[in-house]
Structure 1
């Protein structure tokens, strides 16, 4: 049975987006270097309000890309062992701006304490290493998908703003 146009307009509530974030300990990163070459990686994170923070080393390729403020995309995705349909994994993809947090700031102290709380004592060690920096990832816009035909635009506050595609997939 086909969904009606009205049924398709029903939007999932923003808490569903937050549940996906809360079920994740790390984010997938997509960055580009000065020549436009892509790099994908991941980093453990914490969220403070709508900003995500990662503590990353300059030994990693993505850190220079992030520190230089180049275009960045982050993704949260349902664990593939838990998904019912591999082609329709729940996911949140966000375009984000980046900024480096000063070591002597209150934000650094607050976020590093939260990273330690979430990810353990290793944070005490790496936060003292000179090559590790704290990066803030501020959402700009993105999309949330929670199944076939269920894709939505999200805003900078991670709120769902509209259905992404009101047109069904086309057959060959």
Structure 2
């Protein structure tokens, strides 16, 4: 199995996100009870992600209680080469709910319209739903076995993520050994 170089992984980052339309969103409540679901998402020019969810769902309550989330973008299993090596990108995220009539709503709604077209025409009817801003940090990009990379906070560079690997394995990866 060929090892993926940092340069190859870097070239995969933007197309990977462009091909994924939804984000897995994991939050915890005030008692640390986890909850996971998904939502379509958009990304702004600064690299923040946005979702549109009901204020009645558990994520909304969890975000309001903790201001945190964990997000993951996951390759569709129907196209993966190996079920245990699905390509994925994940981040810790600072989570923020928009207040009702937030001045940023129009801009984010337009990003959703550009990406999803008429599928988001129902937004204006969903009075109990809000946009949530997810500011990512501490990211990782996994492109299969032996292809795990840390993402810089500005998302411009990658470095080898050797957490969880033995020292000799990590050294071999750094040297490009197969």
TM-score range, shorter chain: 0.7 to 0.9
Instruction: Name the structure 1 match of 2:51.
Output: 54
Q: 1:32 to 1:46 in 2, by over 3 A?
A: same
Length, aligned pairs only: 165
Instruction: Give how far 1:147 is off.
Output: 1.3
Compared CA separation, residues 114 and 103, structure 1 to 2 (3 A): farther
SS at match of 1:66: helix
- Please list every run of 5 or more consecutive structure 2 residues that lacks an aligned counterpart in the other structure: 171-178
> Secondary structure at the residue paired with 2:8?
coil
Among 147, 151, 165, which residue is 1:150 paired with? 147
**CA separation of 1:8/1:81 partners in 2, compared to 1, >3 Å: closer, same or farther?**
closer
Unaligned runs of 5+ residues in structure 1 are none
In the aligned structure 1, how far is the partner of 2:41 from the partner of 2:35? 18
Instruction: Compute the displacement of 1:103 (Å).
Output: 4.4
Tell me how far apart the structure 1 counterparts of residues 119 and 43 of structure 2 sit (CA, whole Å). Answer: 18
The SS at the match of 1:79 is coil
2:86 maps to what in 1? Answer: 89
- Cα distance, 1:127 vs. partner? 3.4
Compute the displacement of 1:131 (Å).
1.0
Partner of 1:110: 107
- How far apart, CA to CA, are the structure 1 residues paired with 2:4 and 2:86? 19
Structure 1 residue 45 displacement after superposition? 0.6
**Deviations, residues 43-89 of structure 1 (Å, cap 9, x unaligned):** 11111120101110023211221233432110011111101111111
Following superposition, the deviation at residue 128 of structure 1 comes to 3.6
Q: CA deviation at 1:32?
A: 0.3
- C-alpha distance in structure 2 between counterparts of 1:123 and 1:59, whole Å: 19
CA RMSD of aligned residues (A): 2.4
1:34 corresponds to 2:42? no
Q: Do residues 14 (structure 1) and 10 (structure 2) align?
A: yes
**8 Å CA contact 1:11, 1:162 repeated in 2:** no
